[in-house]
Amino acid sequence: MRIGVLTSGGDCPGLNAVIRGAVLKGTAVHGQEFLGIRDGWRGLVEGDVHPLTRHDVRGLSKQGGTVLGTSRTNPFDGPHGGPENIRATMDRLGMDAVIAIGGEGTLAAAKRLTDAGLNIVGVPKTIDNDLDATDYSFGFDTAVEIATEAIDRLRTTGDSHRRCMVVEVMGRHVGWIALHSGMAAGAHAILMPEQPQSIDQIVKWVESANNRGRAPIVVVSEGFTLDTMETAHSEKGLDAFNRPRLGGIADVLAPIIEERTGIETRATVLGHIQRGGVPSAYDRVLATRLGMAAIDSAVAEQWGTMIALRGTELVHVPFQEALGGLKTVPQDRYDEAAILFG
Amino acid sequence: MRIGVLTSGGDCPGLNAVIRGAVLKGTAVHGQEFLGIRDGWRGLVEGDVHPLTRHDVRGLSKQGGTVLGTSRTNPFDGPHGGPENIRATMDRLGMDAVIAIGGEGTLAAAKRLTDAGLNIVGVPKTIDNDLDATDYSFGFDTAVEIATEAIDRLRTTGDSHRRCMVVEVMGRHVGWIALHSGMAAGAHAILMPEQPQSIDQIVKWVESANNRGRAPIVVVSEGFTLDTMETAHSEKGLDAFNRPRLGGIADVLAPIIEERTGIETRATVLGHIQRGGVPSAYDRVLATRLGMAAIDSAVAEQWGTMIALRGTELVHVPFQEALGGLKTVPQDRYDEAAILFG
Amino acid sequence: MRIGVLTSGGDCPGLNAVIRGAVLKGTAVHGQEFLGIRDGWRGLVEGDVHPLTRHDVRGLSKQGGTVLGTSRTNPFDGPHGGPENIRATMDRLGMDAVIAIGGEGTLAAAKRLTDAGLNIVGVPKTIDNDLDATDYSFGFDTAVEIATEAIDRLRTTGDSHRRCMVVEVMGRHVGWIALHSGMAAGAHAILMPEQPQSIDQIVKWVESANNRGRAPIVVVSEGFTLDTMETAHSEKGLDAFNRPRLGGIADVLAPIIEERTGIETRATVLGHIQRGGVPSAYDRVLATRLGMAAIDSAVAEQWGTMIALRGTELVHVPFQEALGGLKTVPQDRYDEAAILFG
Amino acid sequence: MRIGVLTSGGDCPGLNAVIRGAVLKGTAVHGQEFLGIRDGWRGLVEGDVHPLTRHDVRGLSKQGGTVLGTSRTNPFDGPHGGPENIRATMDRLGMDAVIAIGGEGTLAAAKRLTDAGLNIVGVPKTIDNDLDATDYSFGFDTAVEIATEAIDRLRTTGDSHRRCMVVEVMGRHVGWIALHSGMAAGAHAILMPEQPQSIDQIVKWVESANNRGRAPIVVVSEGFTLDTMETAHSEKGLDAFNRPRLGGIADVLAPIIEERTGIETRATVLGHIQRGGVPSAYDRVLATRLGMAAIDSAVAEQWGTMIALRGTELVHVPFQEALGGLKTVPQDRYDEAAILFG
């Protein structure tokens, strides 16, 4: 069996460990051959591949990013896209199956291609941890760790100057990174897309921390929005939330907090440092196991399924189940964290 | 309600986060008071306690060790030990309940005291991750991360000198730290108590890696033993396994590997650096949640239970269930890792 | 002798180590007493002090920020400011001398006060490393280390997506942090205040790296400005450099590079994470030694001097020498780094 | 000009950065060609080389170990060794000069070869920082950082259990790593080869820390020896110092301290983790600059010299000067640190 491997969408710590896990298991246990597909679906559509041997994946478990490259190409677009063309390309390359490592968009495309008869198994990738079918996805732990270390650092500056520090972490649609890094680092307010808040509430949290002699730490997901009712009556300053802007939402929030509380306030947007570099041990183990389990799926010809983590076990779930819905932070987890705000 | 908190047994990253989580939730939600019990059961037996306020637990989530101190005192020993004396001490201090944070020995003692009518809830602590009732215990993730980083470092030395590096990690009875750090860092052999191996097999793994041009990495749990059949016929050198010695098992293993393979071999015993210092974000979140959940147990008067992690949820399980058995590395997890040895 | 200690200006990793070094040496060797002065000159002007014992400085060498607090108060301002009032306050407190830890502004104020007869010795603090009298100042090494780790992380994202990554580091007036972190992390362009460049030159470096198959890394000091000739003829987009804005200069530069090169480009502004948190070992050693040397200055009554590092030795230099000029990155150091741009 | 590059002796963080610096400068500025010499002098003697291009050194500044391999081969040994044979080999390979990166042994051999007419320039490498001619050598900063982080971790365990922690760091002949890591981490005793101490003195330091309520931290260089007078009258336990043994000197010292003080004492031998892995930013900058400066030496035909750091400048010094003597920790630096012991 000759298997192609592709990584698609935003990069994520652990992608290389998935690739390595798949190649090591496939070659050692099943005598499979592997082709590295360059830049996600683009490489599959264009037949841009190269052999991927045991030797090529040496030392990859600790390497951030993806050695295969990635892109956001849609495999249904262009003159060579779509299931018929891709099938022809795979036949030409002698590629029996594809392991597609990617997020919801990638898995949705993989589902359509599988429905059209192509042999694809999936490995879920979302640094935001927003895929409902799996307890955790690789990359998330590393992102939380990096964010937590950064907040630890910012705290000493806040304490020394008695400043409020606003830290923006990743999370366009869900607040998992904010929740975990905020809990880990002892934030006094955690703001996330699932829980719109008013400026009044934010100010209340900041002042409460300040009144207890603490330098307030506010952790905010990039996708946080103000409570809509308030936005309707918003003052001029709040318009900044909805305008295109340089910088992040923390850059908008910080001056508003400073103006409302009189407490000197500084913004930090962590940005891409959360998704690059050496993966945590947790992510390396999870990603390696996912890559190995994808081989089991391919050998069992479970096309149209992806691997998910449930507790400490890996299970195979149909793409459609995985695509069900966004895994948001549930109310009880938010309430639990909010107890710590003080 | 006035609650005493104690930490018992070996220290573990996250102990302070449990204490903080309990105190913050208990004071904020239930208006409880807290007493810090010094040095584990010793402080309870001797009534050596101090008030533990919200202020006292500031910034503790990131602090390694335990601010309460710890010991291995048995609460049934001595003139003031045993359930009757402890009950009298608790009455004198106005202490309504105890949160006991500790490993299997601590929980076994807690069970006996609860059976005798004392109000105790438990939080499991085992850096080795060897408690069957919970998916993971806090401290384990930090230990794996530290061990993985250390092995990453040793690899570059091995590669430069074409040496075999033997790394000893914690794990007296189980191989979880070896399994995870070995997988994460790409070890060529992982040796653990659950899987006795012969020197012949170890030599085979080392030579196989060497023949592929790799500097062999051997990760070994402190509790690993040689396959007993072989030990029976052991050469002189192998006696070193069973004698009292300075250093660790890696110090014994390295010269044997060197002698048998002719490959220069070096030992490193990671030791206590795996259990100290700043906890990982994963452990801080888990530990904080455990501390908060212990308050729920106390409020619900679920004496004689401890908190366990199942998937992403915390559940309350009776002590007896938790004390069932050692959680060893199952065969399929070991086999999965062994595929990567090459 | 009773000595007051104050920290003034922006916080910096190592401030607490200086305080600890001074208190430990002063108490152990000379039997001195210490007073902690709160929030820089403010505390001296207002007589807001507290005893600072050996016990108070325990474990401080590794703690970021300053336990004394800091501010940007000018000691000549307000009804209680100025040398006469401060002398009276010092007399009232029995404070014989002051160790002032701060940057150029702090040292300039200290000089004026010393000229008016007050007993002050200085310890230079500048995270930007811009003080001419000393080879290195504490905090700089930590900042470079944090920036370097961040750039390492960003590189893997750049490589995976074939993006250009623009990273903004501290340095309002000098480019030392950019120079060192850029060299350490292998940047393809380093932009700093001392070396204004045109957009054309920046584009050339970016395209050169891209043409060699590298994901271009641009490290830019916050104080970098475009070559003025070009700015005079600037296109609309370049105006953004000179307008008040949210975010940093990297946020301005990235879209211009993307537009000019066609290479997807992302900005990261590291900001305050560079100045907080645990100091590097280098900074702890340097800061501890500076604190101890300040005691020697006080005992020798070398008022009006500060401690400087020359090679591996600490020397005492008059404030006026220290205030001479900004230590900019010399041309030969920039040229040396530029060889690596490719 | 075609230049060979070799790394010799124990590996050290920064070796790869030296190689990269030399190759980038040599190719970009002087159009030189490079040959990588495998495994130190062995590769030169045997003519075991490979081309080393700009492409080959990509990303090397952050990579630990040496991509060229290393060995302890003496270039004067064997049938192909000695200046005449090596000259012939160099001629055959068209190799005009050699950059030799190594410690005192390497530089001594390089001196003899240069005296015999070969074109060699040196770059000093000693992780122990024991070379007199240079302020600091690359690798030392990384080793100190790793040791310091490890001691920070051990401290929390010591505090929780009220144990004495004995930590062994590198340093066969000099105590620089012990001095710096011990100062940085707040050790209560620092033991080094330059300062033999009696058990009585060590016990005194340990008890003094313990009496102040601290968990004693003892940092010991691997090359530390007991004060000889005392050893002459040593009790049985002290014999362990002089016998061949598994483990390190910390393993010997810990039980003696425990027996003498009654304080539970644990040993940790950091070993090889101090010399592997990602170099600190400081070491990357220093090593990169050294590599570039070695090219200047070669272009100027300054054979028989090595590059040294003086303050912030790099200078060229004759081998003989560099080989003068061991750079030990001077008495005043030890006394300075000892003030902190308490």
Q: ipTM of this predicted complex?
A: 0.95
Contact flag C246-A252 (C-beta cutoff 8 Å): yes
* Same structural domain, B38 and B58: yes
Asked whether residue C93 carries a pLDDT value surpassing 70, the answer given is yes
Number of domains in chain A: 2
Mutate to test the interface with A, among B16, B285, B307, B313 (most CBs of A within 10 A): B285
D340 lies in a domain? no
| D206 CB-near residues (< 8 Å, 6+ apart) | D164, D188, D189, D216, D218, D257, D261, D263
Q: Which residue of chain D has the CA closest to B264?
A: D71
Q: How far apart are CA B137 and CA B14, in angstroms?
A: 10
**Exposure pattern of A293-323 as b/e (b: 16+ CB <10 Å)?**
bbbbbbbeebbbbbbbbeeeebebbebeebb
Q: How far is D79 from chain C (nearest CA, A)?
A: 40
Backbone angles phi, psi at D316, to 5 degrees: -105, 120
- Rounded to the nearest 10°, the torsion over CA C203, C209, C210, C215 is -110
* Same structural domain, B250 and B147: yes
Q: How far apart are CA B197 and CA C3, in angstroms?
A: 65
What range does the domain containing C112 cover? 2-139+277-322
Retrieve residue C141's tokens.
């090494």
Q: B315 CB near a chain A CB, below 8 Å? A: no
D339 lies in a domain? no
| Confidence bin at A238 (pLDDT 50/70/90) | low
Contact flag B275-D245 (C-beta cutoff 8 Å): no
Q: Are C191 and C178 in contact (CB under 8 A)?
A: yes
Please compute the mean of the pLDDT values over residues B26-36 and round it to a whole number: 98
Please compute the mean of the pLDDT values over residues D308-319 and round it to a whole number: 95
Q: D69 CB near a chain B CB, below 8 Å? A: yes
Contact flag D272-B252 (C-beta cutoff 8 Å): no
Which residues does chain B have within 8 Å of residue D271's beta carbon, measured at their own beta carbons?
Answer: 266-269
Q: Are A63 and A75 in contact (CB under 8 A)?
A: no
Q: Are B180 and B149 in contact (CB under 8 A)?
A: no
Backbone angles phi, psi at D330, to 5 degrees: -70, 155
Q: Can you give the pLDDT at residue A118? A: 98
Task: Give the domain CATH number at A190.
Answer: 3.40.50.460
Scan for tokens 């770059």, then name that residue: D123
Give which of D133, D151, D130, D144 is closest to D13, Cα–Cα. Answer: D144
Contact flag D144-C282 (C-beta cutoff 8 Å): yes
- Residues D165-194: pLDDT tens digits? 999 999 999 999 999 999 999 999 999 999
Q: Are A94 and A127 in contact (CB under 8 A)?
A: no
Q: Can you give the pLDDT at residue C243? A: 59
Q: How far is A61 from chain B (nearest CA, A)?
A: 7
Asked whether residue C323 carries a pLDDT value surpassing 80, the answer given is yes
Q: Are D38 and D47 in contact (CB under 8 A)?
A: no
D259 lies in a domain? yes
Retrieve residue B327's tokens.
């959680």
Q: How far apart are CA A273 and CA D151, in angstroms?
A: 28
D99 in helix, strand or coil? strand
Please identify, among B215, B242, B274, the residue that sits at the C-terminal boundary of a domain: B274
Q: Can you give the pLDDT at residue C321? A: 87
Q: State in Å, rounded, how far the first CA of chain C is from the last one.
A: 58
Q: Can you give the pLDDT at residue D247? A: 77
- Residues C157-187: pLDDT tens digits? 999 999 999 999 999 999 999 999 999 999 9
A178 lies in a domain? yes
**Pure H helices in chain A:** 15-30, 41-46, 83-93, 104-115, 140-161, 176-185, 199-211, 228-232, 249-261, 281-299, 319-322, 331-338
**Pure H helices in chain D:** 15-30, 41-46, 83-93, 104-115, 140-161, 176-185, 199-211, 228-232, 249-261, 281-299, 319-322, 331-338
Q: How far apart are CA D326 and CA D173, in angstroms?
A: 8
* Same structural domain, A265 and A154: yes
* Same structural domain, D109 and D218: no
D115 classed as catalytic = no
Q: Which residue of chain A has the CA closest to C146?
A: A150
Q: Which residue of chain C has the CA closest to A15?
A: C160
Sheet holding B265-269, edge to edge: B189-191, B217-221, B164-169, B265-269
Average pLDDT, chain C: 94
* Same structural domain, B64 and B168: no
- Residues C238-291: pLDDT tens digits? 566 655 566 799 999 999 999 999 999 999 999 999 999 999 999 999 999 999
Asked whether residue C230 carries a pLDDT value surpassing 60, the answer given is no
Q: How far apart are CA A140 and CA C199, in angstroms?
A: 37
- Rounded to the nearest 10°, the torsion over CA C236, C240, C244, C248 is 170
Task: Give the domain CATH number at C287.
Answer: 3.40.50.450
Contact flag B157-D65 (C-beta cutoff 8 Å): yes
Q: Which residue of chain D has the CA closest to C176?
A: D285
Please identify, among D274, D290, D308, the residue that sits at the C-terminal boundary of a domain: D274
Q: How far apart are CA D113 and CA D90, in angstroms?
A: 12
Local structure of residue C329 (DSSP, 8 states):
P
A127 is known to lie in a ligand binding site:
yes
The partner residue sitting opposite B11, judged by closest CB among D69, D161, D252, is D161
Phi-psi region of C40 (alpha: psi -120 to 50; beta: other; left: phi over 0): left
Q: Are B206 and B218 in contact (CB under 8 A)?
A: yes
| B160 CB-near residues (< 8 Å, 6+ apart) | D7, D11, D15, D65, D66, D69, D70
Contact flag B62-A312 (C-beta cutoff 8 Å): no
Q: Are C219 and C189 in contact (CB under 8 A)?
A: yes
- CA angle C29/C30/C31 to nearest 5° reads 105
Q: How far apart are CA A89 and CA A35, in angstroms?
A: 13
- Residues A148-205: pLDDT tens digits? 999 999 999 999 999 999 999 999 999 999 999 999 999 999 999 999 999 999 999 9
| Confidence bin at D245 (pLDDT 50/70/90) | low
Average pLDDT, chain B: 94
Which residues does chain D have within 8 Å of residue B10's beta carbon, measured at their own beta carbons?
Answer: 161
Asked whether residue D235 carries a pLDDT value surpassing 60, the answer given is no
Report the amino acid identity of residue C17: A
Contact flag D11-B251 (C-beta cutoff 8 Å): no
Retrieve residue A281's tokens.
């041990």
Element (H, E) at A2: strand A2-7
* Same structural domain, B167 and B221: yes
* Same structural domain, B180 and B293: no
Retrieve residue C291's tokens.
């604190």
* Same structural domain, C149 and C98: no
- Residues C187-209: pLDDT tens digits? 999 999 999 999 999 999 999 99
Asked whether residue D242 carries a pLDDT value surpassing 80, the answer given is no
Contact flag D292-C185 (C-beta cutoff 8 Å): no
Give which of A224, A130, A217 is closest to A181, Cα–Cα. Answer: A217
Asked whether residue B238 carries a pLDDT value surpassing 90, the answer given is no
Q: How far is B292 from chain D (nearest CA, A)?
A: 22
Contact flag C284-D135 (C-beta cutoff 8 Å): no
Q: Can you give the pLDDT at residue D237? A: 53
Q: Are C65 and C11 in contact (CB under 8 A)?
A: yes
A222 is known to lie in a ligand binding site:
yes
Q: B29 CB near a chain A CB, below 8 Å? A: yes
B327 lies in a domain? no
Mutate to test the interface with C, among A73, A148, A153, A239 (most CBs of C within 10 A): A153
D neighbours by CB contacts (3+ pairs under 8 Å): B, C
Q: A268 CB near a chain C CB, below 8 Å? A: yes
Q: Which residue of chain D has the CA closest to B38?
A: D160
Average pLDDT, chain A: 94
Contact flag A282-B144 (C-beta cutoff 8 Å): yes
Please compute the mean of the pLDDT values over residues A280-299 and round it to a whole number: 98
Asked whether residue D230 carries a pLDDT value surpassing 60, the answer given is no
Retrieve residue B313's tokens.
């949820």
Average pLDDT, chain D: 94
- Residues A69-128: pLDDT tens digits? 999 899 999 999 999 999 999 999 999 999 999 999 999 999 999 999 999 999 999 999
Please compute the mean of the pLDDT values over residues D328-332 and round it to a whole number: 97
Scan for tokens 């005691």, then name that residue: C295
A327 lies in a domain? no
Q: Are A6 and A101 in contact (CB under 8 A)?
A: yes
Give the other-Cβ count within 10 Å of D264's Cβ. Answer: 15
Give which of B92, B94, B86 is closest to B32, Cα–Cα. Answer: B94
C74 lies in a domain? yes
Please compute the mean of the pLDDT values over residues A244-257 and round it to a whole number: 87
A78 in helix, strand or coil? coil
- Residues D102-145: pLDDT tens digits? 999 999 999 999 999 999 999 999 999 999 899 999 999 999 99
Q: Which residue of chain A has the CA closest to B176?
A: A285
Q: Can you give the pLDDT at residue D342? A: 75
In the annotated binding site of D, the residues are 10, 72-73, 103-106, 126-128, 163, 170-172, 222, 266, 272-275
D58 lies in a domain? yes
Q: How far apart are CA D8 and CA D101, in angstroms?
A: 6
Which residues does chain B have within 8 Å of residue D70's beta carbon, measured at their own beta carbons?
Answer: 160-161
Q: Can you give the pLDDT at residue A229? A: 57
Retrieve residue C235's tokens.
């296109």
Q: How far apart are CA D298 and CA B302, in angstroms?
A: 77
Q: How far apart are CA B216 and CA B159, in angstroms?
A: 9
Q: Can you give the pLDDT at residue A247? A: 77
Q: How far is C138 from chain A (nearest CA, A)?
A: 16
Element (H, E) at B164: strand B164-169
The active-site residue out of B39, B48, B96, B128 is B128
Q: Can you give the pLDDT at residue B36? A: 98
Please identify, among D214, D247, D274, the residue that sits at the C-terminal boundary of a domain: D274
Asked whether residue C236 carries a pLDDT value surpassing 80, the answer given is no
* Same structural domain, B249 and B302: no
**Is the CA virtual torsion C109, C111, C115, C117 positive or negative?**
positive
| D41 CB-near residues (< 8 Å, 6+ apart) | D6, D8, D71, D73, D74, D75, D106, D109
* Same structural domain, D95 and D242: no
What does each C-alpha distance from D239 to B165, C315, D225, D235, D256 come to in angstroms?
A: 29, 44, 12, 7, 11
| Confidence bin at B239 (pLDDT 50/70/90) | low
- Rounded to the nearest 10°, the torsion over CA D190, D192, D197, D203 is 30
Burial (Cβ within 10 Å: 0-12, 13-18, ≥19) of residue D201: middle
Predicted TM-score (pTM) of the model is: 0.96
Asked whether residue D229 carries a pLDDT value surpassing 60, the answer given is no
* Same structural domain, A296 and A268: no
In the annotated binding site of B for substrate, the residues are 126-128, 163, 170-172, 222, 266, 272-275
* Same structural domain, A192 and A283: no
